[in-house]
C-alpha cells in the first residue's frame, strides 16, 4: 500500500525573527497518525489572533497520509499555532510550534490525548 503525500503552500507573511535553524525554510512534513481523517488544517503565526483559511480547502488528510507544508519565502515568524478539525468540526490545537527545530511533525491521539512528535 502506497503512502499518499499532499502538498500545501502556506501564503503567510508574518513578521518575526528567525535565528539559526535545522530547517531554515520552515517547511515540514505533517504526518497524520491520529486515527481520524483531518478535514481542516489551519496554521497561523503565534502572534496572530486569526486562523485564516483552511489549508485543506476541499481535501481530506486521511489517517496514515502525509502532507508537505511549504511556507511562503517571506514567512518569518518562528513560532506557529496549528489547528486540525475532523468532519464534525471537533478541533485540536497546538501552540508555539517551532518548525525550525524539525522536518517532520507527527500528530497522534493516544488514549484520547492529542500528541505531537517531531524529528
Which range, of 31-45, 60-74, 85-99, averages the lowest pLDDT? 60-74
| CATH (domain of 21) | 2.60.40.2890
Task: Collect all residues with Cβ–Cβ distance below 8 Å to 94 and sequence separation of at least 6.
Answer: 81, 82, 83, 114, 116
Q: In the numeric block, which cell numbers belong to residue 9? A: 503552500
**Backbone φ and ψ of 99, nearest 5°:** -65, -10
The owner of cell 535545522 is 22
Domain extent for 54: 5-118
61 vs 69: CA distance, rounded Å: 12
Domain count, the chain: 1
Looking at residue 24, what is its pLDDT? 58
pLDDT, tens only, 3-40: 444 444 444 433 334 444 445 578 899 999 999 999 99
pTM: 0.77
Q: What angle do CA 22, 24, 29 make, to 5 degrees?
A: 75
Amino acid at each position: 500500500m502506497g503512502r499518499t503525500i499532499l502538498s500545501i503552500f502556506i501564503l503567510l507573511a508574518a513578521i518575526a525573527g528567525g535565528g539559526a535553524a535545522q530547517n531554515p525554510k520552515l517547511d515540514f512534513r505533517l504526518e497524520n497518525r491520529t486515527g481520524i481523517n483531518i478535514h481542516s488544517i489551519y496554521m497561523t503565526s503565534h502572534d496572530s489572533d486569526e486562523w485564516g483559511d483552511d489549508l485543506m480547502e476541499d481535501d481530506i488528510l486521511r489517517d496514515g497520509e502525509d502532507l508537505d507544508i511549504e511556507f511562503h519565502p517571506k514567512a518569518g515568524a518562528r513560532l506557529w499555532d496549528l489547528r486540525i478539525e475532523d468532519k464534525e468540526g471537533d478541533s485540536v490545537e497546538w501552540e508555539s510550534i517551532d518548525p525550525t527545530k524539525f522536518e517532520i511533525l507527527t500528530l497522534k491521539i493516544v488514549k484520547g490525548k492529542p500528541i505531537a512528535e517531531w524529528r
